[in-house]
Amino acid sequence: MSGFNLSATLNVLRLAFSPQMCMPHLVVSTFNEIPVPVNISGSEKKIKAIVLDKDNCFAKAHDDKVWPDYAEKWKELRDAYPGASLLIVSNSAGTNDDRNNHEQAQILEQRTGVSVLRHTTKKPGCHEEIMQYFREHNVCEDPAQVAVVGDRLFTDMLMANMMGARGVWVSTGVVLSMSPICRAERWWYSVLKQ
């Protein structure tokens, strides 16, 4: 069970001054619609690294495996972005909430074949830890060569914009969330998109 996300609470305040900070560069309804290789219109730089959110993005919420309908897209992404160029960044697996020596992250890595970032700050505040990972693994130095794929505007897309990366918003996900925060995010997006 994930704990309180101080990073999101503090960073979402940025939206009062810069509402566009949570806007994605590309919107897809489900994980299966992500173009491979990831190509963001208007981006001058080639995407070399992909950050993947887990819950309701490529996996059902609170499940530690790829949703069966996404298996083919998962393989396509892994083939296009091998090794350390594909990274799972979750606000549960790999965080300080992930007890027993990051047991959830280890299970997720075994089931997906993709590394899970061990990080102390939750999204959107862990962007420095993400870039440190990509630099240490010689994937890329420039955040503009990173695409962040996620289902949340106030964490995933805000982080993408804070770090200078490209945001790919999975707007529906495995199941359309009706939580108050997700409904607020969809309303926010509709207002800003006008």
User: Does the pLDDT at position 74 exceed 70?
Assistant: yes
Determine the pLDDT at residue 101: 92
pTM: 0.92
Sequential DSSP letters for 137-184 = TTS-S-GGGEEEEES-IIIIIHHHHHHT-EEEEESS-SS----HHHHH
Q: Give the pLDDT band of residue 1 (cuts 50, 70, 90).
A: very low
Q: Among the listed ranges 5-19, 26-40, 66-80, 114-128, which one has the minimum average pLDDT value?
A: 5-19
pLDDT band (50, 70, 90) for residue 80: very high
pLDDT at 155 exceeding the cut of 90: yes
Q: What pLDDT is stored for residue 17 in this prediction?
A: 84
